[in-house]
Amino acid sequence: MKTKKIDLNQSMNEDAMMRAVSKLRMTLQKIHLGGGKKKIEKHHSKGKMTARERIDYLIDKDSEFLEIGALAGHEMYKEYGGCPSGGVVCGIGYVRGRQCMIVANDATVKAGAWFPITGKKNLRAQEISMENNLPIIYLVDSAGVFLPMQDEIFPDKEHFGRIFRNNAIMSSKGIPQIAAIMGSCVAGGAYLPIMSDEALIVENTGSIFLAGPYLVRAAIGEKVDKETLGGATTQSEISGVTDYKMPDDKTCLDTIRDLMDKMGDFDKAGFNRTKPKSPALNPKDIYSLFPEDRTKPYDTMEIIKRIVDDSKVTEYKKGYGKTITCCYARIDGWSVGIVANHRQVVKSAKGEMQFGGVIYSDSADKATRFIMNCNQKKIPLVFLHDVTGFMVGTRSEHGGIIKDGAKMVNAVSNSTVPKFSIVMGNSYGAGNYAMCGKAYDPRLIYAWPTAKLAVMGGAQAAKVLLQIQTSSLKAQGKEPTEEETQTLYNKIKDRYDEQTSPYYAAARLWTDGIIDPLDTRKVISMGIEAANNAAVAKFNPGVIQT
C-alpha cells in the first residue's frame, strides 16, 4: 500500500481521530461488562455463561461478528442505574458458515428486563432479519418487562407485543427462528421462544411460564416451585412446550450449531461479486485526511479510494453536480454504487462557486439519476454522509431546489436495491433524508466517531433559539445584558451539541452503532452478504421526472 506524506494539519487530524477511536474503544469495553464484574461473577456461580460469552461460543471460530446497537441505552435511564447495551446483545454472526441474526438477553443488566430501548433494539434485530431473510437465534434469559417503565414498553404499536407479531410474520415468510431458554422466560416474554420454530431449554437454569410462582400464589393460591411450574423437565416431558432439554449452556449452543448445519439455502439476490482486493492506498490515511475541524474542506474521493478495492472507481458525471460524488466501485469484491457528499468548494458549469457539503439542484439531479441507474443494474447503494443540507436563498429557490431535492428523496425512498449509510461527518436536516438517513430504510446505518446528526449545526441552532428566547424576554419587558445573552447562548449550544453527538444518536438507535473508520469495509461487505439472501423487487421510480 502507498502511504502519502502527512503535513502538520493532517498530523493534527490523525491525532484527533485516534483520540476519538480510543474513546470509542474504552466506552465499548465498559459497556461489554454489562451489569459489572460482580454481576458477571454471580452469573457464573449459577453455571451460566454471559450473553457475550454465549455468542462467542456459538459463532464460528475466527469469524466476524457485526454488533448492532452496542451503544443502545448509553447514558440513559440513569435514575435506574443505567441499561448498558439496552440489556441485550444483537448482531450478525456466522454459525456453521451461515450468516444469522443473534439476539441474546444480558441477565447481568436488571436480570435481562426489557426497558423501552430493549424493545426498540429487539425490533431492529428482527427488522434486519426480515429484510435480509436471515435466520434468527434468540438466547433468552430475561425477567420480562421492566415494570417501573411498563407504560413506555408495553402498550404501543412499536412496543413489546410487536416482537411476537414479528415472530409470526417471520414464520409465515419461512425465516427460521431458533430459541434457547437459558434463564428466566416469564409472562408475555414466554411467547417469543414458543412462537419460534424450535425451542431448547437448559436444565436447572432455564424456566418458562406465563406466571411465576409468586404470581400463581397471589392469583389462585397455589404453592409451587419454579422447576415444577415451568422448568426444563416440565416443559420438555410433560407439557411438550420445548423441543430439546439441554444439560448446560455449552451443550445447548452446540445443538443450535447442529441445527443450523442442516438448513437449506435461500435463493440469492445475485449481487455481483468478484475476488476481494485490499485498497491500493492505505486505509489508515483516512485518519489524517478527515479534518478535525468540521468546517474545513477535504477531497471526499481520497476517502473513497481508501475504502474501495484496489482504490479504483468509475466516477459518474464527474464534471456535473460537483457537490455530490457518484461512482461505481467494489468493496470486498461486492459491486457498489457510492453516493458521497463532496466537501470542497467547487465551481459549477455556470461559473458559480458552490459550497462543499451542500446539495445543489445539479448535484441532486445527478444523484437521482445515479440511484435510478443502480436500481436498474441491481447494484447495492452506499451513502457516505457529510452534508449540511440543501442550498437555500433566492437563486436556489428560483432554480427549483425543492423540486430537485424532492426527486432525490423520491429516488432514495423507492430504491429497491439494499442501501447502506455511513455517517462520516455532518448529517443535517433534509440532507440526512436525501442521503438515506434512518427514516429511509438503510439496511445498516453506522456512524464514525466524527459524526453529527441534527436538524442543523449547533452554532446555527443556538443562534436561532437564542433569538426566540431573547424576543420572549423582551416581550416581558426584560432586556438581557450582553453577558446574560452570551451565557444563554452557551447553555443552548452546549445542550444542542450534546444532542448532535454520535453517542447520543447511537444510544437511541438512530444509528446501528459507532465504528472505527477502518471497519467501514467490514460493515458494508457483511451487510451486502446478508442482503444477498433476499430477492430484490422491481424498481418503480414513482413520480420522478427526468
320-324: average pLDDT: 95
Question: What is the C-alpha separation between 335 and 331, in angstroms, rounded?
Answer: 7
Is the confidence at residue 390, as pLDDT, over 60? yes
pLDDT, tens digit (0-9, with 9 covering 90-100), for 420-446? 999 999 999 899 999 999 999 999 999
251-272: average pLDDT: 95
Contacts of residue 453, Cβ cutoff 8 Å, sequence gap at least 6: 423, 427, 428, 432, 437, 447, 500, 502, 505, 510, 511
Question: What is the C-alpha separation between 90 and 372, in angstroms, rounded?
Answer: 33
Q: How confident is the model at residue 2 (pLDDT cuts 50, 70, 90)?
A: low
Question: What is the C-alpha separation between 545 and 136, in angstroms, rounded?
Answer: 40
Q: How confident is the model at residue 292 (pLDDT cuts 50, 70, 90)?
A: very high
Per-residue pLDDT, 3: 54
pLDDT, tens digit (0-9, with 9 covering 90-100), for 136-191? 999 999 988 888 898 888 888 888 889 999 999 999 999 999 999 999 888 777 88
Per-residue pLDDT, 187: 77
Per-residue pLDDT, 218: 86
Q: How confident is the model at residue 266 (pLDDT cuts 50, 70, 90)?
A: confident
Per-residue pLDDT, 431: 93
Answer for the pair 168, 195: CB distance below 8 angstroms, yes or no: yes
DSSP state of 236: I
Per-residue pLDDT, 493: 80
Give the cell for residue 44.
457464573
Q: At what angle do helices 401-414 and 361-376 cross, to 10 degrees?
A: 20
Contacts of residue 152, Cβ cutoff 8 Å, sequence gap at least 6: 116, 159
Q: Which of 144-148, 161-165, 261-265, 524-528 has the lowest mean pLDDT?
A: 144-148
Per-residue pLDDT, 141: 94
Answer for the pair 163, 126: CB distance below 8 angstroms, yes or no: yes
Select the more confidently predicted residue: 267 or 328.
Answer: 328
